[in-house]
């Protein structure tokens, strides 16, 4: 399923430039699920129906039968990752879209959001969500807004190349988050504004810790500071030492306010654009602030396709052409290579790991597991607005919310799959098996939990409906030449993530269950859970597990390993926390219409990322590029590395 996710991610993603939230009303989505060849999709990116073709099968084809020799105990395995938590994958919600996806105020929470978070929390124990992003730097907490609104966008700042509208919000937003945590175990990161260090605004730190208490995981100081100068937020010459100094200013001010969060800061959140993480480490950042840092963070956009939607970015990339780049094991590992030095440095500094975020769907599973194996500790998938293609989930267009439900993208399934792969013990270690002779289309990982072999994660990136490229992995635990006793269990359980093609968007199932197609999701899994039992041959010490093309298989090596990740029951929220319920999505369209950027923004275009503030070019001028973006977006999705100080 990995690929499924992938592709879904792609599809879902179709779009914009990296992590862009565009504040301009485009034609709204319709219920069309496809459009004629040559026709152009002009609706919101998040609802683009384009489906990509799967790439051709690789030549030569990978062997369709291969063995995986495992040790029962972690003590015999070299190169295992640091201990990881099932909450590895979390979400990053752009501050400006909080009312779209999270809720309007403390007593008006969107039930699909609660349901989706509950799905993850029941597998992983908890969910990490960052509220922040490019909009955080100019956001400001005020005590009240007119009409009792909880959030309001100000005019576009014309001095700001990304034209991210400044946001004003009230403590009500923090009550919203806090009320959510009382229903589902969600822990929050908040972004501290850093646009003007001569006049710091740390109200969010003060009120954040007061209202969220233990549910506040950390405060992010600055977002992508390596791009501040390029975007005109800082004068020429602004460098890593300047950020180092500003971080210190924030810390000093927080100390003078007697805030507790001074030990929970996260940074530097470099975009790995104009600086490398090492540029910041070389300033002595970690040593100087080790008492205050809860995590080290990096963000990265591996690629973008701004050209597809905005003028002045050269030739758009055809997503169909770029698709194969995301459908093999090299995609994740090559991007992560850039950070291996940093994950090492983080560990030496007493940090157990670093995490980053970026990735889409199937690719997101492989990428997430590869990050985990490389000692990242968390990764957050970004949720932008309806104008982006990479959302794990998207609320319906504001004026259609009374009859449409949410749209859950394939990437969301990869979050569930990774949560279950790692389980709820906080103590899972990963090894990349270099399966099938290291073939890049059939990667696999083993998970050791509390020191014992617990689960296997096997991917097949190929698409072949004939079944000829499904593969069979013959698993052996101990025995043979390993010198260890035979340890293959009598049977294993297997849960599949499947879709008909890597290009498919809506026919994704995880353990036979689905969250529905476009506008169909209320955040609850539908259908019967299907977990298959595979009988092993204990005399031969083998277990044969089939992995479809395309597909992801999660193999539970014991019942304990399954209980450690499968939820016993799922809490769901239908009309809870809703003021007015017609169906499970109870957003008042009028309220939302005035709260998410549609008001007073006519004809203006802003975005939260660099260089993406131009007016959209004639939409659809290069429709295929959208999907590509999606892939790329997928990449952009995960953005941030977190090193947690345990
Ligand atoms: C929603 O708003 C868009 C843009 O204003 C409009 O094109 C669309 O027809 C509206 N949909 C409905 C169902 O009113
Ligand atoms: C929350 O928002 C709903 C919908 O706009 C509104 O009816 C309600 O009065 C708000 N509650 C508070 C406490 O502001
Ligand atoms: C949620 O937050 C509001 C503040 O708007 C508070 O008055 C209310 O008691 C909270 N509700 C719950 C269920 O905790
Ligand atoms: C920082 O952002 C606020 C908006 O929240 C704005 O009023 C202020 O002018 C900005 N300061 C600078 C130096 O850009
Ligand atoms: C790793 O980072 C350290 C500290 O910035 C630097 O001195 C060293 O050259 C880096 N090593 C590699 C292989 O990039
Ligand atoms: C595998 O992925 C890498 C990284 O994206 C890409 O450069 C390479 O072309 C892909 N290989 C194949 C055979 O598609
Ligand atoms: C991850 O950290 C462990 C423990 O420090 C180390 O043995 C392993 O080599 C690291 N993995 C990578 C890919 O750097
Ligand atoms: C996992 O870690 C979290 C955060 O530190 C903690 O709250 C939770 O109890 C831990 N779970 C287990 C099973 O130890
Ligand atoms: C995918 O789902 C759609 C809509 O439910 C359905 O029409 C289509 O036949 C499915 N495609 C496949 C290949 O199963």
Residue nearest to atom 9 of ligand 6 (CA): 325
State the average pLDDT over residues 12-31.
24
What pLDDT was estimated at residue 155?
Answer: 64
What pLDDT was estimated at residue 472?
Answer: 98
What pLDDT was estimated at residue 333?
Answer: 75
Q: How far is Cα of residue 317 from the mean position of the Cα atoms in its chain?
A: 23
173 and 235 assigned to the same domain: yes
Q: Rounded CA gap, 419 and 121, in Å?
A: 9
486 lines ligand 8 (CB under 6 A): no
pLDDT tens across 211-258, in order?
Answer: 999 999 999 999 889 989 988 889 999 999 999 999 999 999 999 999
* Three-state SS at 28: coil
pLDDT of residue 65 exceeding 50: yes
Q: Which of 265-274, 324-333, 465-474, 615-624 has the highest mean pLDDT?
A: 465-474
Structure tokens of 190? 């908040």
Provide the sign of the torsion angle of the four alpha carbons 200, 186, 350, 420, taken in this order. negative
Structure tokens of 461? 């990136």
Which of 309-323, 427-441, 471-485, 550-564 shows the lowest per-residue confidence on average (mean pLDDT)? 309-323
Q: Strands (DSSP E) along 411-561, which ranges?
A: 428-432, 444-449, 452-460, 471-477, 491-498, 509-510, 532-535, 543-547, 551-556
* Three-state SS at 217: strand
Query: Within a domain: residue 126?
Result: yes
177 and 119 assigned to the same domain: yes
Query: Within a domain: residue 595?
Result: no
Residue nearest to atom 3 of ligand 8 (CA): 426
71 and 130 assigned to the same domain: no
Q: Rounded CA gap, 197 and 247, in Å?
A: 9
Q: Pick from 543, 564, 585: which residue ends a domain?
A: 564
What pLDDT was estimated at residue 569?
Answer: 65
Q: Rounded CA gap, 620 and 557, in Å?
A: 48
CATH number at residue 258: 3.20.20.80
Closest CA to 640 of 333, 108, 270, 181: 270
Q: Rounded CA gap, 369 and 422, in Å?
A: 9
pLDDT tens across 394-426, in order?
Answer: 787 766 666 678 888 888 999 999 999 999 999
CA–CA distance from 41 to each of 21, 49, 67, 157, 312 (Å)? 19, 8, 46, 30, 21
Query: Within a domain: residue 534?
Result: yes
| Ligand 7 centroid, distance to 485 Cα (angstroms) | 27
Identify the band that residue 542 occupies on the pLDDT scale cut at 50, 70 and 90: very high
CATH number at residue 437: 2.60.40.1180
Full-model pTM: 0.81
330 lines ligand 2 (CB under 6 A): no
Average pLDDT, the chain: 75
Q: Pick from 564, 591, 610: which residue ends a domain?
A: 564
For residue 78, the ligand 7 atom closest to its alpha carbon is 7
Q: Which residues contact 560 (CB under 8 A, 6 or more apart)?
A: 454
pLDDT of residue 266 exceeding 60: yes
113 and 214 assigned to the same domain: yes
Query: Within a domain: residue 56?
Result: no
What pLDDT was estimated at residue 197?
Answer: 85
pLDDT of residue 623 exceeding 50: no
- Say if CB 317 and CB 625 are below 8 A apart: yes
465 and 530 assigned to the same domain: yes
For residue 440, the ligand 6 atom closest to its alpha carbon is 1
What pLDDT was estimated at residue 100?
Answer: 86
| Ligand 5 centroid, distance to 341 Cα (angstroms) | 6
What pLDDT was estimated at residue 39?
Answer: 43
- Say if CB 589 and CB 399 are below 8 A apart: yes
Secondary structure (DSSP) of 421-442: HH-SSS-EEEEE--HHHH-TTS
pLDDT of residue 602 exceeding 60: no
The total number of structural domains that make up the chain: 2
pLDDT of residue 170 exceeding 50: yes
To test the ligand 7 pocket, which listed residue (375, 430, 646) has its Cβ within 8 A of the most ligand atoms? 375
Q: Which of 9-18, 166-175, 338-347, 503-512 has the highest mean pLDDT?
A: 166-175
| Ligand 5 centroid, distance to 277 Cα (angstroms) | 10
The Cβ of residue 527 has, within 10 Å, a number of other Cβ atoms equal to 13
Q: What percent of the chain has pLDDT over 70?
A: 70
- Say if CB 366 and CB 476 are below 8 A apart: no
127 and 241 assigned to the same domain: yes
Secondary structure (DSSP) of 43-61: S-GGG----PPPPPPPSSP
Identify the band that residue 28 occupies on the pLDDT scale cut at 50, 70 and 90: very low
Query: Within a domain: residue 425?
Result: no
pLDDT of residue 356 exceeding 50: no
pLDDT tens across 111-164, in order?
Answer: 899 999 999 999 999 999 999 877 888 888 999 998 888 988 876 555 554 555
208 and 70 assigned to the same domain: no
- Say if CB 88 and CB 379 are below 8 A apart: yes
70 and 149 assigned to the same domain: no
441 and 524 assigned to the same domain: yes
pLDDT of residue 646 exceeding 70: no
103 and 193 assigned to the same domain: yes
Closest ligand to residue 165's CA: 4
- Say if CB 197 and CB 137 are below 8 A apart: no
What pLDDT was estimated at residue 604?
Answer: 25
Angle of the 203-212 helix axis to the 171-183 helix axis, nearest 10: 30
| Ligand 2 centroid, distance to 215 Cα (angstroms) | 23
Query: Within a domain: residue 587?
Result: no
215 and 286 assigned to the same domain: yes
Query: Within a domain: residue 188?
Result: yes
Of residues 569 and 146, more confidently modeled: 146
To test the ligand 8 pocket, which listed residue (425, 426, 449) has its Cβ within 8 A of the most ligand atoms? 426
Angle of the 361-373 helix axis to the 410-422 helix axis, nearest 10: 30
CA trace torsion 457, 462, 468, 472 (10° rounding): -10
Of residues 344 and 461, more confidently modeled: 461
pLDDT of residue 620 exceeding 50: no
State the average pLDDT over residues 597-626.
25
Residue nearest to atom 12 of ligand 5 (CA): 341
Query: Within a domain: residue 169?
Result: yes
Q: Pick from 564, 590, 623: which residue ends a domain?
A: 564
To test the ligand 1 pocket, which listed residue (25, 28, 387) has its Cβ within 8 A of the most ligand atoms? 28
| Ligand 8 centroid, distance to 426 Cα (angstroms) | 6
What pLDDT was estimated at residue 153?
Answer: 83
Residue nearest to atom 9 of ligand 8 (CA): 125
207 and 67 assigned to the same domain: no
Q: Which domain holds residue 210?
A: 84-263+275-290
What pLDDT was estimated at residue 494?
Answer: 96
To test the ligand 2 pocket, which listed residue (102, 109, 148) has its Cβ within 8 A of the most ligand atoms? 148
Residue nearest to atom 10 of ligand 8 (CA): 426
**Which residue has tokens 């809506």?**
506
pLDDT of residue 205 exceeding 90: yes
């Amino acid at each position: 399923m990995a690929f499924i996710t992938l592709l879904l991610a792609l599809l879902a993603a179709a779009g914009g430039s990296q992590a862009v939230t565009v504040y301009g009303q485009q034609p709204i989505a319709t219920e069309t699920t496809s459009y004629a060849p040559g026709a152009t999709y002009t609706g919101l990116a998040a609802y683009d129906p384009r489906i990509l073709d799967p790439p051709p099968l690789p030549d030569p084809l990978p062997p369709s039968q291969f063995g995986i020799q495992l040790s029962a105990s972690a003590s015999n395995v070299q190169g295992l990752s640091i201990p990881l938590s099932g909450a590895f994958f979390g979400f990053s919600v752009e501050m400006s879209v909080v009312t779209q996806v999270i809720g309007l105020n403390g007593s008006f929470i969107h039930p699909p959001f609660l349901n989706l978070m509950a799905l993850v929390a029941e597998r992983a124990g908890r969910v990490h969500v960052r509220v922040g992003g490019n909009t955080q730097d100019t956001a400001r907490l005020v005590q009240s807004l007119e009409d009792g609104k909880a959030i309001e966008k100000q005019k576009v700042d014309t001095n700001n190349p990304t034209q991210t509208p400044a946001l004003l919000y009230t403590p009500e937003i923090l009550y919203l988050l806090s009320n959510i945590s009382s229903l589902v175990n969600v822990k929050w990161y908040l972004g501290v504004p850093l646009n003007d260090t001569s006049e710091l605004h740390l109200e969010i730190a003060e009120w954040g810790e007061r209202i969220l208490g233990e549910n506040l995981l950390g405060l992010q100081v600055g977002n992508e500071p390596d791009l501040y100068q390029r975007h005109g937020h800082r004068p020429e010459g602004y460098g890593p030492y300047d950020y180092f100094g500003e971080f210190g200013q924030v810390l000093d001010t927080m100390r003078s306010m007697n805030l507790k969060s001074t030990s929970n800061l996260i940074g530097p959140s470099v975009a790995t654009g104009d600086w490398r993480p090492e540029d910041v480490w070389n300033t002595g950042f970690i040593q100087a602030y080790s008492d205050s840092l809860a995590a080290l963070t990096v963000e990265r956009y591996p690629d973008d396709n701004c050209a597809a939607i905005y003028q002045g970015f050269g030739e758009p990339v055809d997503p169909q052409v770029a698709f194969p780049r995301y459908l093999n094991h090299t995609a994740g590992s090559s991007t992560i290579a850039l950070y291996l030095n940093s994950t090492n440095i983080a560990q030496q500094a007493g940090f157990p790991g670093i995490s980053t975020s970026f990735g889409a769907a199937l690719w997101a599973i492989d990428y997430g597991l590869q990050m985990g194996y490389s000692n990242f500790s968390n990764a957050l998938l970004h949720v932008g607005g309806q104008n982006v293609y990479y959302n794990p989930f998207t609320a319906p267009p504001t004026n259609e919310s009374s009859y449409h439900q949410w749209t859950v993208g394939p990437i969301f399934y990869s979050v569930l799959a990774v949560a279950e792969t790692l389980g709820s013990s906080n103590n899972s270690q990963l090894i990349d098996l270099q399966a099938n002779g290291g073939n890049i289309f059939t990667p696999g990982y083993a998970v050791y939990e509390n020191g014992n072999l617990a689960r296997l994660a096997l991917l097949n990136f190929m698409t072949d409906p004939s079944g000829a490229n499904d593969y069979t992995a013959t698993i052996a635990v101990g025995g043979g030449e390993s010198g260890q006793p035979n340890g293959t269990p009598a049977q294993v359980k297997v849960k599949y993530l499947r879709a008909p093609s890597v290009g498919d968007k809506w026919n994704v199932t995880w353990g036979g269950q689905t969250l529905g197609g476009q506008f169909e999701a209320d955040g609850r899994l539908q259908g019967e859970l299907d977990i298959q039992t595979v009988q092993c041959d204990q005399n031969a010490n083998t277990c044969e597990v089939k992995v479809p093309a395309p597909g992801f298989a999660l193999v539970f090596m014991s019942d304990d390993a399954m209980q450690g990740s499968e939820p016993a029951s799922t809490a769901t929220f239908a009309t809870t926390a809703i003021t007015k319920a017609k169906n499970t999505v109870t957003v008042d369209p009028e309220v939302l219409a005035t709260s998410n950027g549609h008001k007073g923004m006519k004809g203006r275009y802003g975005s939260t990322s660099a260089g993406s503030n131009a007016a959209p070019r004639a939409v659809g001028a290069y429709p295929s590029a959208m999907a590509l973006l999606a892939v790329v977006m997928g990449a952009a999705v995960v953005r941030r590395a977190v090193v947690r100080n345990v």
